[in-house]
């Protein structure tokens, strides 16, 4: 029997904390980038990406891409690739590469995220 892909709210089984890099003064009147700060935590689905040549090449270098799905809301639509995602359960960090609204109805947002790259 073929495995069916779960959809809907039941498939959002992970808890992902979204973080943005802060800006702090350096003591000389300049602002510099500081550490990442938590913004909010959302239920999400993380699905590993497999199959295409660039993905296979990335995996050979220790980089694992994932498709991260979250519900679209006012605050989640503020996320940009400058942010990062952290799995609240495992502590793994993911860099956000792209963000799309796949159904163009603002129900869910999908992000291509990568584990294993420095931020």
Query: Would you list the domain boundaries of the chain?
Result: 44-119
pLDDT of residue 10: 58
Give per-residue pLDDT as tens, 42-100. Answer: 999 999 987 555 666 665 667 788 999 999 999 999 999 999 999 999 999 999 999 99
Q: What is the pTM of this model?
A: 0.78
The mean pLDDT value for 98-115 works out to 91
Average pLDDT over the chain, rounded to an integer: 84
Tokens linked to 46: 């993380």
CA gap 82, 71 in Å, rounded: 19
The whole-angstrom separation of Cα 70 and Cα 39 is 15
């Amino acid at each position: 029997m073929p495995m069916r892909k779960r959809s809907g709210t039941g498939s959002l089984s992970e808890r992902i904390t979204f973080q943005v890099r802060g800006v702090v003064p350096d003591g000389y009147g300049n602002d510099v980038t500081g550490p990442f700060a938590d913004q909010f935590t959302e239920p999400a689905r993380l699905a590993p990406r497999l199959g295409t040549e660039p993905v296979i090449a990335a995996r050979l270098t220790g980089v694992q891409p994932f498709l991260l799905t979250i519900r679209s809301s006012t605050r989640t639509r503020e996320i940009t690739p400058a942010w990062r995602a952290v799995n609240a359960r495992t502590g793994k960090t993911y860099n956000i590469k792209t963000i799309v609204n796949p159904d163009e109805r603002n129900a869910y947002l999908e992000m291509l995220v990568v584990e294993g790259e420095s931020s």
